[in-house]
């Protein structure tokens, strides 16, 4: 069971360091744990969490090792910092910044090639679900990925991200089973995961953990999710 906290554009270096110091002392149960701070806070997180089993992931990664790509960060740069892995293809990157299945695949491949672990995000919008297109969307998004020991997929129904709405455990299980029928990798659930629903979600047979957004910004909340998932 793997629980990753995506901090999005929250927590600068000072706040990130304080959070990670508290996380070191927290009871996280028996799960694998990672935090995904903004780029400016990665170095502090790596330093504070050194010597622990808690991984530090970036939130994105470019497909080139270096070059004229203003505002981007490469896999070798993340590795040099001591970062363990990266999120790729989050729905916010796809929706707000125009990332496509094709360049998500290039980012994933580059990160894996340079030794990073990858959380590759997939998921349908509310309109796509209502149109009965969930499986077609997931098939398209997953088809560009390749099985790798360092790859996990995060199923994030876009309609459940930051909305307070959560896919029912049954909806999550159905989507996870479908993704696994296409690609033999662990699949995390993401979309308004909270301490109150983490145990039931994690208890589903094809749910291998969670990519947690807003609830990962508070140490107690995040730790509670980790403990709930470890007891599922």
Beta bridge partners of 127: none
Residue 167's pLDDT is 81
- Provide the whole-model pTM: 0.95
Residue-wise pLDDT tens digits, 141-158: 999 999 999 999 999 998
Q: Which residues are catalytic?
A: 90, 156
Q: In this prediction, what percent of the chain has a pLDDT beyond 90?
A: 91
Residue 232's pLDDT is 66
CB 192 within 8 A of CB 163: yes
Average pLDDT over residues 175-179: 97
Structure tokens at 54: 């808690």
Residue 191's pLDDT is 86
User: What backbone torsions phi and psi does residue 216 show, to the nearest 5 degrees?
Assistant: -90, -5
Q: Which domains does the chain have, with CATH numbers?
A: 2-230 (3.20.20.70)
Task: Report the distance separating Cα 141 and Cα 121, nearest Å.
Answer: 9
Average pLDDT over residues 179-197: 95
pLDDT band at 163 (very low <50, low <70, confident <90, very high): confident
- 92: pLDDT strictly greater than 80: yes
- 231: pLDDT strictly greater than 80: no
């Amino acid at each position: 069971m793997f629980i990753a906290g995506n901090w999005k554009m929250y927590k600068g270096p000072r706040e990130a360091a304080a959070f990670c110091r508290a996380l070191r002392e927290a009871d996280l149960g028996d799960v694998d744990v990672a935090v995904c701070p903004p780029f400016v806070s990665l170095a502090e997180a790596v330093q504070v969490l050194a010597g622990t089993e808690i991984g530090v992931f970036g939130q994105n990664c470019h497909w080139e090792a270096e070059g004229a790509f203003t505002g981007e960060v490469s896999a070798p740069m993340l590795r040099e910092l001591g970062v363990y892995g990266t999120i790729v293809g989050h729905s916010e990157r796809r929706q707000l910044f125009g990332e496509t299945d094709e360049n998500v695949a290039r980012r994933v491949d580059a990160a894996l090639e340079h030794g990073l672990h990858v959380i590759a995000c997939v998921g349908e919008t509310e309109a796509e679900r209502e149109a009965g297109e969930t499986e077609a969307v997931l098939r398209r998004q997953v088809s560009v990925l390749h099985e790798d020991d360092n790859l996990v997929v995060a199923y994030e129904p876009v309609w459940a991200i930051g909305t307070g709405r959560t896919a029912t455990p049954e909806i999550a299980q159905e989507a996870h089973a479908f993704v696994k029928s296409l690609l033999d990798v662990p699949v995390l659930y993401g979309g308004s995961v909270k301490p109150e629903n983490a145990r039931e979600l994690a208890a589903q047979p094809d749910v291998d953990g969670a990519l947690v957004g807003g609830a990962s910004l508070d140490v107690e909340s995040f730790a509670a999710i980790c403990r709930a998932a470890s007891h599922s």
